[in-house]
């Protein structure tokens, strides 16, 4: 039986995909260096602790586990950090993807699913992007991912492999049953940060930019629940196994919420007010970015199950409370 290699499968999105793969009986091996991932987040799969940039390690895993499909999540993903340390992003996101593709070529891997980002679009005229919208990233994170997309497309054009590239919009929420979640430290993702503040992990919540040309002056994003995004990866896998052609697809719900609307949702679900601080815009942020995702629905027969902001927040808050419980000092009775 062939296996699926998931790079970065101990991280936030990768672990949710691994869990769904394992639930339907897939044979999965994860390679993760645990720099931002967690050993206990890998459920139902073998974990190999190591770096995806280690070609000898990757080659061994591909051979020993008879891998025919790779799902590639391993990457740095923080936009502000990419602006301050761009070489870190080009090294890990772009150069390591090149090395991984070289290993796949040598091993004869036939199918590849790539974790990309809406950051490849940059600032669009309307704030809405479909897959044909020009790609003009405004930060090194988006640029590093676009370079990887180009390498993947060019390699697959030789006929050696087929791929599905999934461009994520703003991923949020956690496994609704609370088994796994978003545990990455120092995250800059709004819903996670807001929920961390709600449980007392952060003293306040910052709004970066209140002067955008949006209805309430704050940035607008398309938030997709991580479980719906994970399901899109399984649909992509089925598409490739059925002999489907290479695709590049947006992953979003097709509508957005402003920063203030998200804060209102967290306050509504949590039942308590948040301490909000207004700060200047951050470098690398766009005013508005919303997906057109009709192609994902049409080509992969994907149907979202959790398109509800309050539900997304509720699952994120559930996980933050669980993390807070685990980190609380343990007391013993007399």
Per-residue pLDDT tens for 28-76? 999 999 999 999 999 999 999 999 999 999 999 999 999 999 999 999 9
pLDDT at res. 64: 97
Instruction: Let me know whether 217 and 235 are in one domain.
Output: no
Residue 293 belongs to some domain of the structure = yes
∠ Cα 153 157 160 (to 5°): 105
The answer as to whether 182 is a domain residue is no
Same domain, 245 and 197: no
What is the average per-residue pLDDT within 156-180? 97
Asked if the structure places residue 71 within a domain, the reply is yes
Q: What is the CATH number of the domain that holds 300?
A: 3.90.25.10
* pLDDT, tens digit (0-9, with 9 covering 90-100), for 291-327: 999 999 999 999 999 999 999 999 999 999 999 998 8
| Mean pLDDT (whole number) for 147-152 | 98
Residues 237 and 279 in one domain: no
Count, residues in the chain:
334
Distance CA 72, CA 89 (A): 15
Residues 86 and 228 in one domain: yes
- 111-117, strands of its sheet edge to edge: 46-49, 28-32, 3-7, 67-72, 111-117, 162-168, 247-251
Same domain, yes or no, for 75 and 206? no
136 and 200 in a single domain? The answer is: no
How many angstroms separate the Cα of 55 from the Cα of each of 33, 58, 59, 99, 144? 13, 5, 6, 7, 20
> In total, how many domains does the chain have?
2
* Statement to judge: residues 271 and 165 lie in one domain: no
Q: Domain boundary at 207, 236, 251, which?
A: 251
What's the pLDDT at 330? 62
Q: How far is CA 282 from CA 81, 203, 272, in A?
A: 11, 20, 27
pLDDT at 334 (0 to 100): 38
Looking at the structure, do residues 164 and 204 belong to the same domain, yes or no?
no
Q: Which residues pair with 191 in a beta bridge?
A: none
CATH of the domain at 157: 3.40.50.720
Strands 170-172 and 128-129, how do they pair? Answer: unpaired
Asked, for residue 334, whether it belongs to a domain, the answer is no
Instruction: Answer whether residue 151 is part of any domain.
Output: yes
Residue 12 among the catalytic residues: no
Q: Please pick, among 141, 223, 253, 257, the residue that the annotation labels catalytic.
A: 141
Is 332 inside a domain boundary?
A: no
pLDDT digits (tens, 9 = 90+) for 169-193: 999 999 999 999 999 888 989 999 9
My answer on whether 149 and 265 are in the same domain is no
Are 217 and 228 in a shared domain?
A: no
Q: What does the pLDDT read at residue 38?
A: 96
Average pLDDT value over all residues in the chain: 96
Q: Is residue 244 part of a domain?
A: yes
135 shares a domain with 211: no
Residue 177 burial (C-beta neighbours within 10 Å; 0-12, 13-18, 19+): exposed
User: 233 and 196, same structural domain?
Assistant: no
Range of the domain at 25: 3-173+224-251
* Helices assigned H by DSSP within the chain: 12-23, 55-64, 79-84, 86-89, 96-107, 140-156, 190-198, 226-241, 259-270, 294-300, 309-327
**Within a domain: residue 64?**
yes
- Indicate the residue among 208, 236, 251 that finishes a domain: 251
Whole-model pTM: value is 0.95
Q: Which of 263, 258, 247, 266 is nearest to 290 (CA)?
A: 258
């Amino acid at each position: 039986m062939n296996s699926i290699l998931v790079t970065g499968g101990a991280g936030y999105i990768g672990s949710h995909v691994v869990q769904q793969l394992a639930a339907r009986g897939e044979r999965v091996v994860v390679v993760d260096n645990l720099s931002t991932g967690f050993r206990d987040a890998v459920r139902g799969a073998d974990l190999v602790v190591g770096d995806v940039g280690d070609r000898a390690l990757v080659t061994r895993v591909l051979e020993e586990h008879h891998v025919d499909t790779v799902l590639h999540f391993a990457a740095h993903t923080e936009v502000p950090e990419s602006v301050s340390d761009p070489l870190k992003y080009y090294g890990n996101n772009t150069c390591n993807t090149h090395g991984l593709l070289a290993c796949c070529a040598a091993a004869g891997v036939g199918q590849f699913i790539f974790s990309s980002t809406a950051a490849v679009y940059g600032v669009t005229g309307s704030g809405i992007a479909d897959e044909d919208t020009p790609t003009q990233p405004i930060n090194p994170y988006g640029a590093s991912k676009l370079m990887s997309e180009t390498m993947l497309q060019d390699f697959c054009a030789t006929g050696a492999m087929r791929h599905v590239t999934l461009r994520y919009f703003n991923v949020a929420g956690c496994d609704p049953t609370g088994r796994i979640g978003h545990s990455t430290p120092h995250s800059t993702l709004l819903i996670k940060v807001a929920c961390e503040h709600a449980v007392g992990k952060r003293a306040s919540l910052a709004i970066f930019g209140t002067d955008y040309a949006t209805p309430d002056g704050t940035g607008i994003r398309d938030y997709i629940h991580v479980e719906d995004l994970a399901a899109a990866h399984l649909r992509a896998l089925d598409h490739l196994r059925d002999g489907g052609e290479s695709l590049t697809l947006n992953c979003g719900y097709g509508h957005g919420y402003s920063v203030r609307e998200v804060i209102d949702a967290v306050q509504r679900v949590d039942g308590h007010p948040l301490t909000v601080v207004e700060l200047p815009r951050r470098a690398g942020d766009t005013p508005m970015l919303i997906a057109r995702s009709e192609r994902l629905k049409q080509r992969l027969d994907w149907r979202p199950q959790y398109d509800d902001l309050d539900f997304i927040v509720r699952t994120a808050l559930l996980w933050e409370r669980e993390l807070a419980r685990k980190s609380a000092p343990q007391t013993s009775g007399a």
